[in-house]
Amino acid sequence: MSYAAILAVIDGAKGSESSLQAAINLGRAFKARVELLHVEVEAESALPVMGEGMSGAAVEQMLQSLQEESQARLAEARRLFDHYRDVEKLPVVEPDSVPATGKFAVCFRHVTGREPEEVLHRARLSDVTIFARPGHAGENETSAACETTLFESGGPILLVPPKPVKDLGSTVAVAWDRSRESARAVHAALPILKKAKKVVTITGRQSESDPEPSELARYLAGHGISARTWAFTPGSGALGQELLAEAARAEADMLVMGGYGHSRLRELVLGGATRSVLSQAAIPVFMMH
């Protein structure tokens, strides 16, 4: 099992370089096809619902501002792609060309539409989809496209910090709670776990009936993966924060975990541990629902 198709969302905002670099690193490691996707949002569709008191001039001004931001983000996405293409001498192919098996290649795809739908459409035929966490306070913790892909694509996402990281998957911590979500995350991450220098299975245990990290370590051993076991007793704090703290103590540079969600009303509502990990993780997080 390996990865052949890697999708990375390059929205032109702060953090795009981190997503691009992670995709290139994974693509090289697995000799995979990497698609760098930029979705240009139509300004008209991005306009908020307007009240009766908003004047035509105000609407026009807002529309112009959205158009300028959209063009600036597209220009930044292209600049990043051109820079890495030239500096790292990337093997560039056309987006719709037939992939060559076992060959690292990169393409840049620019489409116009609603980002969640455009990303989801392509994520369903990708082995992993990469997003960057927002780079500064005031932005949403995760984008609608990221959450939609996590819960509806059927595949894993890799959320990377806003600043590019040097090591990606050298020491991997795997959160294990015996749930369907964590099991699916483990299965999807097997190619990364096989390439890792160190793997640590982490389990929070409060009673004898709780799962042990050793059961996951035994499973991984069958795949030729030697894993260290790590159990901790959760305290009264947020579980996601405690999990990140344990991964840091294990000196992990990536965390693999299940993604948990609750009911969907107007927008996706993430489970508590999932939300805190996605919004606060200082290391890349590989997640599967």
Q: Which residue has the tokens 């990375």?
A: 8
pLDDT band at 142 (very low <50, low <70, confident <90, very high): low
Whether 171 contacts 49, CB under 8 Å? no
Check residue 264 and give its pLDDT: 40
119: its two tokens: 């990303």
pLDDT digits (tens, 9 = 90+) for 217-275: 999 999 999 999 988 887 766 677 888 889 999 999 999 999 875 434 333 444 556 66
The values of phi and psi at residue 228, to 5°, are -85, 145
Q: CA 66 to CA 47: how far, in whole Å?
A: 8
Check residue 158 and give its pLDDT: 97
Q: CA 207 to CA 279: how far, in whole Å?
A: 29
pLDDT digits (tens, 9 = 90+) for 158-207: 999 988 887 789 999 999 989 899 999 999 999 999 999 999 999 988 77
pLDDT band at 14 (very low <50, low <70, confident <90, very high): confident
Q: CA 55 to CA 243: how far, in whole Å?
A: 49
What are residue 8's DSSP bridge partners?
36, 130
What percent of the chain lies above the pLDDT cut of 90? 60
pLDDT band at 127 (very low <50, low <70, confident <90, very high): very high
Q: Amino acid identity of 281?
A: A
pTM comes to 0.89
Angle between helices 16-30 and 56-87 (to 10 degrees): 40
Check residue 165 and give its pLDDT: 85
H or E stretch at 197? none
* CA max distance for the chain: 66
Domains and CATH numbers, the chain: 5-160 (3.40.50.620), 171-288 (3.40.50.620)
